[in-house]
Chain A
Amino acid sequence: QLQLQESHPGLVKPSETLSLTCTVSSASISSVDYYWGWIRQPPGKGLEWIGSFYYSGKTYNNPSLKSRGTISGDTSKNQFSLKLTSVTPADTAVYYCARHPTYSNEFDYWGQGTLVTVSS
């Protein structure tokens, strides 16, 4: 059964860089059929797509993050990652990684999510 597992950075200080990794089991991030994405959810609020990685190295980002987010993949480890720079308390959220097929675009498998708190 496909599983996605986010890393747990926990607490990040304002102005620093938030780094997250998603480890994928029972599927390959090198598959031509899938994107691998990051979604976040601030406490008590809705879901926001952050960005996605494709096996070719192409990445897609939410314009609202103003280029603060960088997504990359490591096919040798079957992992993909998110780096979010210059964080503020507004970046406090549960961060999810998820898979979405290129041919149908839904987010079909999700990680359990990890809470990242931005605070000094």
Chain B
Amino acid sequence: QSALTQPASVSGSPGQSITISCTGTSSDISGYNYVSWYQQHPGKAPKLLIYEVTNRPSGVSNRFSGSKSGKTASLTISGLQAEDEADYYCSSYKTSNTWVFGGGTKVTVL
């Protein structure tokens, strides 16, 4: 089962906006609106940031937003802060009741 494709790293300065892409196939991202995004700090469990492409769980900052176009989903972090330095993963439901993650993107705050 192939992982979704994410850039290995993205960086930005405090206050800037960055976007992380997540590319899949017609069997996952473009086939369903079940894309989710997770933030993971070192040594910690992943934390849900976005679900169903654009929805934020209660308590997640509105600086995080999600979108999708065709086979590519995106996570945008606005007003980048030092605490946003972490690894970010996308995930999608995939045909036949399976789920797939992206390879992860390391975000560096310069």
Contacts and interface: CB of A to CB of B under 8 A. Distances in A.
Interface of A: 37, 39, 45-49, 52, 60, 62-64, 96, 100, 104-108, 110-113
B31 interface: no
A49 B99 contact: yes
B104 interface: yes
A106 B73 CA distance: 15
B58 to A, nearest CB: 11
B36 A107 contact: yes
Contacts, number: 64
Contacts of A105: 32, 34, 36, 51-52, 93, 99
Interface of B: 1, 3, 32, 34, 36, 38, 45-48, 51-52, 57, 89, 91, 93, 97-104
B98 A111 contact: no
A76 to B, nearest CB: 25
Nearest to A112: B45
A45 B91 CA distance: 15
A113 B45 contact: yes
A110 B104 CA distance: 17
5 contacts: A46-B103, A47-B89, A47-B91, A105-B93, A106-B48
Contact of B45 (A46, A63, A96, A100): A96
Contacts of B98: 49, 60, 62-63
Given A46-B89, A63-B98, A106 B51 contact: yes
A111 B45 contact: yes
Contacts of B1: 62-64
A4 B48 CA distance: 15
User: Closest 7 CB pairs between A and B?
Assistant: A106-B51, A106-B36, A105-B34, A46-B104, A105-B93, A47-B101, A110-B45
